[in-house]
Structure 1
Amino acid sequence: MPLLLASTSRYRRELLERLRLPLHIARPEVDETPGATESVPAMAARLARAKADAIARQHPGSWVIGADQAAELDGHPLGKPGHREAAIAQLTAMSGRQVRFHTAVCLVRDDHVLEAQDITTVRFRDLAEAEIERYVDVEQPFDCAGSFKSEGLGITLFEAIESTDPTALVGLPLIALSRMLREAGFDLP
């Protein structure tokens, strides 16, 4: 069965390649502006579905995976920093605090929709300014929500990670997605 990933994220592609299924990548054109009163979990779910729907409309009969992740600090979304100063500011704000990451995944084929969401809580240790700057300069996590890469050196910034799926924090909850793919008829071990 055709399977498309509605994302150009290399992190999501690398995670999905673990499942060893034939895969095509498609770039969804979706407005990712948060709604004025939209909660962070609702935003992640809406964007995952919108990305999958956008590509599914272009490829009828194909299964399409859409995903989105939104970080939340004190009820407010944290986006991708984009540059050094914003990454330093985000990590400084998260120092000694808990941040929740809402990772939504949606599997769509025509009118058939399967959805799931994982919540990962990251507890940051107290970070000194010099530690933050060294980390940002070495890893340059400018394309990552929360300004870190947990699969890399970012792991040194934490006291703990609490999640039901360790892949969710990287951007795609493979446990939930594997369940959905099996339900859709894909053969997975």
Structure 2
Amino acid sequence: STIDKDDPNWVIYLLYQQYQNDNGQICYAPIGFITVYLYYAYPEKRRPRVSQVLILPPYQRKGHGRRLLTAIYNDLRKDSRVQDITAEDPSDEFVALRDLVSLELCHKYLPDLFSKESILKTNRLTKEMIEKARDICKLTKQEIRRVYEICFLQSININDEEQMKIFRLLVKQRLYEPLQVKFSFHSFPFKDYYFN
């Protein structure tokens, strides 16, 4: 869909290359772009939402999407009015890219909380992890949980059945939680058969 160029809430991040043409002139060529809409969040916050992402085909799979998304997070996380950064109907490829960028942000800005030692010591996602990742990295709670799961998997011995069982339960809990709220399974008699 098209964007309203007169709406001040649209922000366009453009990645380009600078090169010299045959005449020696400096020229610029687009590599890709990401559009972000700055939604309002009560009472005086903003929730930027990544809307469109395009990296031109010759430049795909070369780290440009990662560089551009990282730049966006680094730009927006400096703004105290930003609550968190979301994405509109993300594709599987974008989710994987966002997971990577979010993981790098947590390792860079919150190394004490998301280190292997910390993950193995706490063995669970703590309130402090959620609050700091939201405040400093501007991640949503769902994204923080995904980052924690990735860190947990990186930290454990995948050949240890007990540790893998804990990991599977973490993932199941994240996947079942929205269903339990949406369908109120506690009111159905078949709950015990499916979720125990």
TM-score computed with the length of structure 1 as normaliser: 0.27
Higher RCO, Cα 8 Å, sep 6+: 1
Q: Larger helix proportion, structure 1 or 2?
A: 2
TM-score w.r.t. structure 2 length? 0.26
- The structure in which a higher percent of residues are strand is 1
